[in-house]
Amino acid sequence: MTHPRLARPQWWHDAVVYQIYPRSFADAHGDGLGDIPGITSRVGYLSALGVDAVWLSPFYPSQLADGGYDVDDYRDVDPRLGSLEEFDEMVAALHAAGIGVIVDLVPNHSSNRHAWFRAALAASPGSPERARYLFRDGADGGALPPNDWESLFGGSAWTPAGDGQWYLHLFAPEQPDLNWDNPEVRADFEHTLRFWSDRGVDGFRIDVAHGLVKNLAEPWPPQKEMEDWPRPDGSHPLWDRDELMNVYRSWRRVFDSYDPPRFAVAEAAVHPSRRARYASPETLGQAFNFAMQEADWRPDDFHRVIDAALSDVADTGSSTTWLLGCHDSPRVASRYGLPLIPEPRVFADLKGERPFRHDSQWLARQWLLTDGRAPEVDLPLGRRRARAAVLVEFALPGCTYVYQGDELGLPEVADLPREVLQDPMAGRSTREKGRDGCRVPLPWASDRHALGGNSFGFGSDGAHLPQPDWFGDFAVDVQEADPTSSLAMYRQALELRASLTATPPGEFEWVAGPSGLLHFRRGAWHCLTNFTDEPLPRPEGEVLLCSAPEGAAGGVPANATVWLRSE
Ligand code: NOJ
């Protein structure tokens, strides 16, 4: 029987979804790699945290050329992570706790070890095997790539097949792009959607949802022109083509053939004006909005991002998605500890109306690029602001995604030695450190040797990415014993949020206040955030929660959020 929480139609509209990066969450097998039984063993933790669903990054068989986003077989579990039976047990345990399961689908590319790609390489040019991917004849009699397009991970987007043809990969060479004009590819992915839906998964996160369908008609625009992105009109040959929606409309028929209907969230890095197409109830249902993750610690930035996100979804019948971090970006606690540049570098979108990238995001990237030598990161301040920011998200209408470890206020591990880096982005240029700093296995215990291992309770062995000594200070057991910890605040906030939204709260409204304060309300539930370094006065009312350990007796503390009940 479906748990009542998940039986609600469109339960995901206002869900809190916890992102699990399976290889770094919990290791039950004791081999240094997180796994499916590890997740099952931590259902109690997820339940106590109060999340509505988990999204699992890929757990499929993979050589890990891109952290599992290079899939060898879409309908199996990597044997190092478990088995299909263990997957079923995990789903049953999560469902029994009222927690939904969202799995990551990677349809833009398979891995080069997928049976189809092996067959394609073994077959000859023009064969049906090659027609599942995007092979083209090389230039100069096959000696050179067909054109100058570059992969998003650096280097040419083409790799030679060895017989004069080259295949397209917008990411790593181990990630050949599939040919979505081929009906066989379309049918196979519908099969995969049914395979996991039949096993009880509640939804899908669609990787690179704006890719898939491409127009490779010649003449090919040069790389320089390809960099004109995002576009408001679907005119790019590789990204956000109008034809994509035919694929998603047909997936919708699959989703709606289940009770309750399955849902999907698009990872679509598109022009804001195009996001609604992915979030429509006729296509995927929801689309990530990354603007909050890119907003700096400034009230105006938050105000703008919130207004834009709420107006974007107003007509779609969807709900917006708030998120501060994921497995692709520097940890929020570190990011908010970076200095703000007085003249923010705002890259406006094409209409020039919406913020696209702000300065601390830009700085954080520089920080990764410069071998982890951070420009003055004030970590206590960053962690304090991260706590304040997540209370803003939890108070807003819509769905919030929380990246594993952010509930602990974990900082970025910025100084991982080069030789341990796993991300394909690392090493493709001389300075790029890549995304491993936010993917280090979680510390569950302050004792490095808990469970007889060397991984702060992650498992009974080591950790596949090395954890620094200071990881123990952030461990779950330390935070469970401290009522002022980040974890304790998350638990309290989610419990309160559940009760405050049990009956729909009033309409979202901005409330005017002193400079430096962001204040909105939903009926009697007020959310006030102080972006300055001094306390600010607050209205009368019952303090429900304060992100700062010192509490809200003296007003809204500096760099903090207060939830207030006031008529
Ligand atoms: C987006 C995923 O979030 C990222 O981790 C991955 O590298 C690319 N898509 C390619 O699959």
Instruction: Choose the final residue of a domain: 445, 480, 515.
Output: 480
Would you say the CB of residue 270 lies under 6 angstroms from ligand 1? no
Burial of 424 by CB count in 10 Å (0-12 exposed, 13-18 middle, 19+ buried)?
A: buried
CA distances for 526 relative to 449, 520, 541, angstroms: 44, 6, 9
Helical (H) or strand (E) element with 322: strand 321-323
The CATH number linked to 151 is 3.90.400.10
For residue 22, report the distance from its CA to the centre of ligand 1, in Å: 15
Burial of 142 by CB count in 10 Å (0-12 exposed, 13-18 middle, 19+ buried)?
A: middle
Would you say the CB of residue 104 lies under 6 angstroms from ligand 1? no
pLDDT of residue 346: 46
* Ligand 1 atom nearest to 106, measured from its CA: 11
Report the residue among 177, 205, 207 best suited for mutation to probe ligand 1: largest number of ligand atoms under 8 A from its CB. 207
Report the residue among 208, 270, 288 best suited for mutation to probe ligand 1: largest number of ligand atoms under 8 A from its CB. 208
Report the residue among 20, 63, 69 best suited for mutation to probe ligand 1: largest number of ligand atoms under 8 A from its CB. 69
Are 164 and 189 part of one and the same domain?
A: no
Are 388 and 453 part of one and the same domain?
A: yes
Are 99 and 128 part of one and the same domain?
A: no
Would you say the CB of residue 207 lies under 6 angstroms from ligand 1? yes
Q: Are 344 and 300 in contact (CB under 8 A)?
A: no
DSSP state of 443: -
Q: Whose CA is nearest to atom 5 of ligand 1?
A: 328
Question: In this structure, what token pair is assigned to residue 422?
Answer: 């796993």
Residue 217 in any domain: the answer is yes
Residue 189 CA, distance from chain mean position: 22
The CATH number linked to 526 is 2.60.40.1180
Instruction: Work out how many domains the chain is built from and give that number.
Output: 3
For residue 69, report the distance from its CA to the centre of ligand 1, in Å: 6
Are 106 and 121 part of one and the same domain?
A: no
Alpha carbons 444 and 73: distance in angstroms, whole number: 31
Are 59 and 200 part of one and the same domain?
A: yes
Would you say the CB of residue 171 lies under 6 angstroms from ligand 1? yes
Residue 191 in any domain: the answer is yes
47 three-class SS: helix
Question: In this structure, what token pair is assigned to residue 508?
Answer: 């979202």
* DSSP codes, 56-107: EPP-SS---TTTT-S-S-TTS--TTT--HHHHHHHHHHHHHTT-EEEEEE--
Are 331 and 236 part of one and the same domain?
A: yes
Helical (H) or strand (E) element with 39: helix 36-41
pLDDT of residue 153: 87
Are 91 and 207 part of one and the same domain?
A: yes
Question: In this structure, what token pair is assigned to residue 480?
Answer: 């469970």
Residue 60 in any domain: the answer is yes
Instruction: Choose the final residue of a domain: 141, 168, 195.
Output: 168
For residue 171, report the distance from its CA to the centre of ligand 1, in Å: 8
Residue 500 in any domain: the answer is no
Residue 31 in any domain: the answer is yes
Would you say the CB of residue 328 lies under 6 angstroms from ligand 1? yes
pLDDT of residue 369: 62
Q: Are 405 and 469 in contact (CB under 8 A)?
A: no
Report the residue among 20, 66, 103, 105 best suited for mutation to probe ligand 1: largest number of ligand atoms under 8 A from its CB. 66
Would you say the CB of residue 153 lies under 6 angstroms from ligand 1? no
Would you say the CB of residue 209 lies under 6 angstroms from ligand 1? no
Would you say the CB of residue 70 lies under 6 angstroms from ligand 1? no
User: What angle separates helix 183-198 from helix 244-255, to the nearest 10 degrees?
Assistant: 30
Secondary structure (H, E, C), 350-378:
CCCCCEEECHHHHHHHHHHHCCCCCCCCC
Alpha carbons 29 and 309: distance in angstroms, whole number: 42
Are 120 and 96 part of one and the same domain?
A: no
* Ligand 1 atom nearest to 425, measured from its CA: 7
Residue 489 in any domain: the answer is no
Are 414 and 290 part of one and the same domain?
A: yes
For residue 310, report the distance from its CA to the centre of ligand 1, in Å: 26
How many residues make up the chain in this entry?
567
Buried (b) or exposed (e) across 47-70, using 16+ Cβ within 10 A? eebbbbbbbbbbbbbbebbbbbbb
Alpha carbons 69 and 109: distance in angstroms, whole number: 9
Are 281 and 391 part of one and the same domain?
A: yes
Long-range contacts of 477-486 (CB under 8 A, 24+ apart): 477/444, 477/445, 477/446, 478/446, 479/408, 484/549, 486/383, 486/386, 486/387, 486/407, 486/408, 486/409
Phi then psi dihedrals of residue 323, to 5 deg? -155, 145
The CATH number linked to 74 is 3.20.20.80
Helical (H) or strand (E) element with 478: helix 476-480
For residue 156, report the distance from its CA to the centre of ligand 1, in Å: 18
Are 128 and 223 part of one and the same domain?
A: no
Would you say the CB of residue 66 lies under 6 angstroms from ligand 1? yes
Question: In this structure, what token pair is assigned to residue 387?
Answer: 């706590």
* DSSP codes, 187-254: HHHHHHHHHHHHTT--EEEETTTT-SS---PSSPPPHHHHT--S-SSS--SSSS-TTHHHHHHHHHHH
For residue 536, report the distance from its CA to the centre of ligand 1, in Å: 41
pLDDT of residue 355: 41
- The pLDDT tens digits along the chain (567 residues) read 678 878 887 899 999 999 999 999 999 999 999 999 999 999 999 999 999 999 999 999 999 999 999 999 999 999 999 999 999 999 999 999 999 999 999 999 999 999 999 999 999 999 999 999 999 999 999 999 999 999 998 899 999 999 999 999 999 999 999 999 999 999 999 999 999 999 999 999 999 999 999 999 999 999 999 999 889 999 999 999 999 999 999 999 999 999 999 999 999 999 988 999 999 999 999 999 988 988 889 999 899 999 999 998 887 788 999 999 999 988 999 989 887 766 555 444 333 344 444 556 666 766 666 665 656 788 999 999 999 999 999 999 999 999 999 999 999 998 888 889 998 887 665 456 788 999 999 999 999 999 999 999 999 999 999 999 999 999 999 999 999 999 999 999 999 999 999 999 999 999 999 999 999 999 999 999 999 999 999 999 999 999 999 999 989 999 999 999 998
Instruction: Choose the final residue of a domain: 480, 495, 523.
Output: 480
* DSSP codes, 265-304: EE-----GGGHHHHHSTTTTEEE---HHHH--S-HHHHHH
Alpha carbons 284 and 555: distance in angstroms, whole number: 43
* Residue whose tokens read 């057991």: 477
Residue 314 CA, distance from chain mean position: 23
Residue 490 in any domain: the answer is no
Residue 485 in any domain: the answer is no
What does pTM read for this prediction?
Answer: 0.96
* Ligand 1 atom nearest to 171, measured from its CA: 10
Would you say the CB of residue 436 lies under 6 angstroms from ligand 1? no
* Residue of 389, 376, 387, 229 whose CA lies nearest to 295: 389
Domain enclosing residue 550, as ranges:
506-565
Contacts of 243 (CB under 8 A, 6+ apart): 213
Alpha carbons 267 and 289: distance in angstroms, whole number: 9
Q: Whose CA is nearest to atom 6 of ligand 1?
A: 69
pLDDT of residue 365: 66
Would you say the CB of residue 69 lies under 6 angstroms from ligand 1? yes
Are 199 and 253 part of one and the same domain?
A: yes
For residue 87, report the distance from its CA to the centre of ligand 1, in Å: 22
Q: Are 331 and 293 in contact (CB under 8 A)?
A: no
pLDDT of residue 6: 84
